[in-house]
Amino acid sequence: MTSSPKFHHCDQLIKFYNCFIIRDGQLVKEDFWIKSGKIINPEPIFYDEKSKPDVVIDCKHNIIAPGYIDLQINGGYGFDFSNDNVDIEKAIDSVARGIVASGVTSFCPTLITQSPESYKKIIPFIHRRPGSLENGASILGLHLEGPFINRKKRGAHPEHLVRDNIMKSFNELVDVYGTLEDVAIITLAPELDGGSIIKEIVSHNIIVSMGHSVATLNQGYVAISNGANFITHLFNAMLPFHHRDPGLVGLLAHSYPNSSKVPVYYGIIADGIHTHDAALRIAYQTNPDGLVCVTDAISALGLEPGKKHKLGEQFIEICDSKAFIAGTETLCGSIATMSQCVRNLNAVTNCGIVKAVECASLHPAQVLGITEFKGTLNFGSDADFIILDNQLNVLATFIGGQKVWIADHFPIKAAQLS
């Protein structure tokens, strides 16, 4: 090993050895190479360039996995993305830097239902951007959860701001949000689509997710046929499963003749609180390839319990590792990290390390259609990866080949990764 590896030099050729790599659905023991922020194929280096690595790192038989991608996170560390009275750029920076400790290398900042005035104060200040040591996790675009949702399943969304009238034009969305330039996902209730709104949204390269809804299974079918491909926090804020009409939950068991290889993706909050263990097992066993771990984390993520915190226009409070609308028993988001959700998913479903990790990396990348550069350890992909022990605890996080976080107890000395 070299005496003083320097990870901030992006042009260095770096070799990780004594590691197990998650690649192509398997856990394989082989070396892992990166250069210039990308994962590279070492064969041409040996046979064509005849080059040697600038830095070699002994991983001590730990696991290298793709970085986690969180498609639904409302804030954290005291900051709420839906609060138009805070410094939104500071809020984004704080969360982006904080979540790397839980293995998240990319995320979609999420806004709950707001007024048009608030949207126009917040949305223009959140942009897609790459991750780095300075920026923290990459921003993949906004997730706008509401306001076009069903009032009956609004959850923590302010009732007076919900718009549960039938949508008639794409311009209606633009009028409410102001701009959709940096928007990646819109959650809406599919029963509100009065014609071809979902088709129009998808035509603008925005993912449509179905949620906060009382949609029937048939209404879900129509939404899928129009281009929707995601379900927001399955089981939460939707009709419960019924044997005569299973609602949106029934989409998990549906196959599509024209795209039989494409599953219906569904977000699930695997924190052990929002979804019962039995329901989590049923969902995974029904459609393992569609499960996407999301945290749905709120401003209280990373903060001490026993205090009130702001979520949009409402106050929330923390009790027994749960977040409630203040003075009620209504859950309003999670305070679990992605790392906790992945470990819990594995423990509850017994799906195994590879499958658990893919639910927080490969699957969310598939939802967004970005698997060419995120969500895998394939050659040519961005060098966004994490080092895990065999209990799925995060030991270190890398973005674009840069070390952005390392655990104090990691067996590789921190000085070697500086």
Cα–Cα separations (whole angstroms), residue 204 to 31, 220, 279, 412: 40, 21, 34, 46
DSSP state of 414: G
Q: Is 237 annotated as a binding residue?
A: yes
Rounded to an integer, what distance in angstroms lies between the CA atom of residue 192 and that of residue 297? Answer: 26
Q: Is 343 annotated as a binding residue?
A: no
Residue 415 is which amino acid? Answer: A
Mode of pairing for the β-strands spanning 68-73 and 75-76: unpaired
Are 144 and 183 within 8 A, CB to CB?
yes
Strands (DSSP E) along 345-415, which ranges? Answer: 385-388, 394-399, 402-406
- State both tokens at 158: 């302010």
Q: Is 390 annotated as a binding residue?
A: no
Q: Cβ of 121: how many Cβ atoms within 10 Å?
A: 16
3-state secondary structure of 357: helix
Q: Of 108, 192, 118, nearest to 160 (Cα)?
A: 118
Q: Is 331 annotated as a binding residue?
A: yes
Q: Is 333 annotated as a binding residue?
A: yes
Strands (DSSP E) along 121-182, which ranges? Answer: 138-139, 142-145
**Secondary structure (DSSP) of 228-281:** --EESSTTTTBPPP-SS--GGGGGGG---TT-TT-PPEEEE--SSSSS-HHHHH
Phi-psi region of 165 (alpha: psi -120 to 50; beta: other; left: phi over 0): beta
Catalytic entry in 80, 296, 382, 384: 296
Are 58 and 72 within 8 A, CB to CB?
no
Respond yes or no: is residue 93 known to be catalytic. Answer: no
Q: Is 236 annotated as a binding residue?
A: yes
Q: Is 145 annotated as a binding residue?
A: yes
Rounded to an integer, what distance in angstroms lies between the CA atom of residue 174 and that of residue 389? Answer: 46
Rounded to an integer, what distance in angstroms lies between the CA atom of residue 201 and that of residue 79? Answer: 29
Q: Cβ of 320: how many Cβ atoms within 10 Å?
A: 7
Instruction: List residues forming the annotated binding site.
Output: 145, 156, 212, 233, 236-237, 244, 274, 331-333
Instruction: List residues forming the annotated binding site for Zn(2+).
Output: 145, 212, 233
Instruction: List residues forming the annotated binding site for substrate.
Output: 156, 236-237, 244, 274, 331-333
- Active site residue ranges: 296
